[in-house]
Amino acid sequence: MGTLTRVDSGDPAFSSISLDLSRLVGHHIALYTEQVPGKKLQVRVVAVHDKQISIDTSGKSNLINNLVSQQKVVLQFAHKGQEISVKATLIRSLGGRCHFIIDERVTPLAQRRFYRVELIKQIKLAPFPIASHSKRELSTLHWMATDSVNLSSGGLLVVVPSCLHSGIHLLINIDWEEFEFPALVMGQVRHCFRETTGQFKIGIEFLLREAARKLFSQTQKGSLPASLFRYSMSWRDKLNNELQTVNLEKGI
């Protein structure tokens, strides 16, 4: 099925306020970014200040030097005997220096909830203008066919020829026969990076039915496929457990 990578934190065990980041200076930490999906980047911490971590960029490959500023990343490192994960915002200062402003929430890796599978599946996407939606046929929307880079019960990563800005809503159809999954779900773009090839890597979150329902009036919901409002929290968690079990059985 593919390579398993744990992603997306669940409920945090503690706040980043309690972290002693000074212990990281001179040590390497793991960096994950959707700009380089499925790859762990090792970076060395050279300084910390409050919630800011600065890393060494001298002599690094283009993987580090080409990282886009203002993007969300995931950092992983050891703290008081346990491996933890924290989301952070990457900031580039003058001279190309690279800093990370860490978020409040911290998650021990043992408590992470969603599992991402590097899996190629046929995907169809259509940008969906919520505000101007009427009883138009879905076939009149601009559908794009592509393949997934990876999938989880929480979302997916795809490559498309045009930019889709953060916040855009999408209708999504996935050819995912191995697991029970709605024929059509609502999604929202969370990030978009331009590749050197000119293509765009798009990170998309699946919207649960509670969130999807809030986007439409009762009249609008009546003109849309019921499938859009079927993907619940319990369904997402069940699929996540299935992905984890299958990959553990394969020794991945």
Write the pLDDT tens digit of every residue in 129-178: 876 665 556 667 889 999 998 888 999 989 999 888 888 999 999 988 88
**What b/e sequence results for 64-89 when a residue is b if at least 16 CB atoms lie within 10 Å of its CB, and e otherwise?**
beebeeebebbbbbebeeeebbbbbb
For residues 197 and 102, give the distance between their C-alpha atoms in angstroms, rounded to a whole number: 31
User: Domain 115-249 carries which CATH code?
Assistant: 2.40.10.220
Q: How far is residue 15 from each of residues 48, 85, 103, 212, 213, measured CA to CA in Å?
A: 17, 11, 9, 30, 32
Q: Could you give the CA distance from residue 212 to residue 50 in angstroms, rounded to a whole number?
A: 38
Q: What is the CATH architecture of 9-112?
A: Roll (2.30)
What would the two tokens of residue 127 be? 């940008």
pLDDT confidence band for 4 (50 / 70 / 90): very low
Where are the chain's structural domains?
Answer: 9-112, 115-249
* Residue range 197-228, pLDDT digits in tens: 888 889 899 999 999 989 888 888 888 888 99
Read off the pTM. 0.61
Specify the residue for token string 């499925």: 38
Rounded-to-integer distance, Cα 201 and Cα 35, Å: 7
Looking at residue 61, its pLDDT comes to: 61
Q: What is the pLDDT of residue 86?
A: 86
Residue 17: band (very low, low, confident or very high) from pLDDT cuts 50, 70, 90: low
Specify whether the CB–CB gap between 105 and 15 falls below 8 A: yes
Report whether 201 contacts 34 (CB < 8 A): yes
Tell me, what's the pLDDT at 79? 75
The average confidence (pLDDT) of the chain is 81
Tell me which of 205 and 194 has the higher pLDDT. 205
φ/ψ of 180, rounded to 5, equals -70, 125
